[in-house]
Amino acid sequence: AQTVTQSQPEMSVQEAETVTLSCTYDTSESDYYLFWYKQPPSRQMILVIRQEAYKQQNATENRFSVNFQKAAKSFSLKISDSQLGDAAMYFCAYRSGYGGATNKLIFGTGTLLAVQP
Amino acid sequence: DTEVTQTPKHLVMGMTNKKSLKCEQHMGHRAMYWYKQKAKKPPELMFVYSYEKLSINESVPSRFSPECPNSSLLNLHLHALQPEDSALYLCASSQDETGNYTSPLHFGNGTRLTVT
């Protein structure tokens, strides 16, 4: 069975600084997708960034980028130029890429990010 | 603004009540999901509908009854709930359920349910 581990329950960053959130996963599959979701106090789960396992190039979305290390099964999220609005719970998630698989996301336990002004 | 709309935002109900949660999306997505989330925990999958048919029930107690009247609507009927069922209930949708397509889930804002 696949598992996702986020070893940092809480993190803090100064506004305009850079922070990296860690995520590791365990799988025997070779085809899968990885996601980072953000959940602010408004409660909505918002997709931040996604990565296809077959792509070697790290995904980027504006100030958000990932460091995807497939061999190490690591998928960290880097937030550059942190803003107050980045304060939220961040969940790392895994989904199998095999046919017949449901779109079942396996979530990590989350990292609560605080942004200090 | 969220493209997945959930109503109500808050719901308080007694253990003998019957209530329903509603979810609506107009993105043409063919898969819809119910998740349950306890405070400071990740969401837990409850049900998946694919093309308006129930495809996954994660061993959810029968006091939760999902319904998908059409491709845009998803309901969760609640009856005889227990206080431990108090949680945030999140609805989500995705373009397709198949695992070969990177169709990320789009979530609604959730319904905060309190069972007294």
Option in B42, B56, B99 nearest A100 (CB): B99
pLDDT in tens, B47-106: 999 889 998 899 999 999 999 999 899 999 999 999 999 999 999 998 865 544 457 888
Residue A95: is its pLDDT beyond 60? yes
Under a CB-based contact definition with an 8 Å cutoff, are residues A21 and A6 in contact? yes
Q: What is the mean pLDDT of residues B12-16?
A: 92
What are the residues of chain B with a beta carbon less than 8 Å away from any beta carbon of chain A?
2, 31, 33, 40-43, 45, 48, 50, 55-56, 88, 90, 92, 94, 96-100, 102-110, 112
Residue A117: is its pLDDT beyond 90? yes
Q: Which residues contact A89 (CB under 8 A, 6 or more apart)?
A: A38, A39, A40, A110, A111, A112, A113, B40
pLDDT band for position A102 (cuts 50, 70, 90): low
pLDDT in tens, A2-44: 899 999 999 999 999 999 999 999 999 888 899 999 999 878 8
Exposed/middle/buried for residue B32 (C-beta within 10 Å: 0-12, 13-18, 19+): buried
Residue B36: is its pLDDT beyond 90? yes
Q: What is the mean pLDDT of residues B9-22?
A: 94
Residue B2: is its pLDDT beyond 70? no
